[in-house]
Copies of this chain bind each other. A is one copy, B any other.
Amino acid sequence: MSELRKDPIVSRWVIIATERDARPHHFKSSAETPSDTKSEGCPFCEGNEHMTPPEIYAVRPGGGKANGPGWLVRVIPNKYPVLRIEGDVARRGIGMCDMAEGVGAHEVIVETPRHDQRLSDLPEEHIELVLGAFRERIIELDRDDRLRYAMVFKNQGIRAGASLPHAHSQLIATPVTPITVKEELQSSKKYYQEKERCIFCDYLKQEMKAGERLVMDDEHFAVIAPFASRFPFEMWVIPKKHQSDYHKISPQELTSLSKILKMILIKLRENLENPDYNMLLHTAPLRTPRSGYWTTIEVDYHWHFEIFPRLTRVAGFEWGTGFYINPTPPERVREFLMGE
Contact = CB atoms under 8 A, between A and B. Distances in A.
Contact of A232 (B10, B27, B170): B27
Interface in A147-196: 149, 151, 153-155, 158-162, 170, 172, 174, 178-181, 183-184, 187-188
A11 B323 CA distance: 10
Given A22-B327, A210-B95, A329-B16, A179 B322 contact: yes
Contacts of A158: 313
Nearest to A98: B228
A273 B23 CA distance: 12
A141 B217 CA distance: 47
A22 B311 CA distance: 11
Interface of chain A, main secondary structure: mixed
A20 B327 contact: yes
Interface stretch (A47-55, A120-128, A278-286): A278-286
Copies of this chain in the oligomer = 2
Interface residues of A, number: 92
A8 B158 CA distance: 31
Contact of A179 (B181, B317, B321): B321
Interface of A: 5-18, 20-24, 26-27, 29, 82, 94-97, 149, 151, 153-155, 158-162, 170, 172, 174, 178-181, 183-184, 187-188, 199-200, 202-203, 206, 210, 226-230, 232, 271-273, 275, 278-282, 306, 311-330, 332, 336
Instruction: Sort A-B residue pairs by CB-CB distance and give the 8 closest, nearest first.
Output: A161-B315, A153-B316, A178-B321, A180-B322, A22-B327, A27-B311, A161-B313, A20-B327
